[in-house]
A and B are shown apart, each in its own frame.
Chain A
């Protein structure tokens, strides 16, 4: 199936989970990453159970914060 990850179209295996995609994409500091699929936010606890579908558009958002 085909999905789009961070603006790049990719062919991936059917049944790919968000958790596996995070590994495959070698996402740095995955503990700080939020994932959206088709603009919907995926709970971090649901990465293992969320299966991607053909045509999905995935974005990785890196937490940014700090304080004075």
Chain B
């Protein structure tokens, strides 16, 4: 289970919509608890691929985010990216490039612009499991 505040969810959504038709991406950080993960901060990073089908995080922004996490006492929890035209589930490329089985991979689908869908997955090899995401008000 992973929890995200509604305000952080809205930050991700607004950023993803602002860069359409490209994929958006970023990092998530927070706490590891007995009940799962709590996202305390989302980082909106540049997709240096500038593509509607691929994303790669900007390494300089990634470095700045890691420093910020450390300064705030947050643990890195994983990353997020958008699927502008496909469902909220990992693609084959997402699985191939997800080498950290402990991380959470959030995917925001904007396929139906009126009904965006955000899910979080644990990915281990070819296997992706929806870990359950709660948006808290």
B7 within 8 A of A: no
Q: How far is the CB of B92 from chain A (nearest CB, A)?
A: 9
Interface 1/0 per residue, A46-68 and B, CB below 8 Å? 00000000000001011111111
Number of residues on chain A facing chain B (CB within 8 A): 17
A2 within 8 A of B: no
If A64-B27, A66-B93, A66-B97 are given as contacts, then 18 extra A-B residue pairs at C-beta distance below 8 Å, sorted by A number, are A39-B63, A59-B63, A62-B99, A63-B97, A64-B25, A65-B49, A65-B54, A65-B57, A66-B94, A66-B98, A67-B23, A67-B54, A67-B55, A67-B93, A68-B23, A68-B86, A68-B91, A68-B94
Interface residues of B (CB under 8 A from A): 23, 25, 27, 49, 51-57, 59, 62-63, 66, 70, 79, 81, 83-86, 90-91, 93-94, 97-100, 105
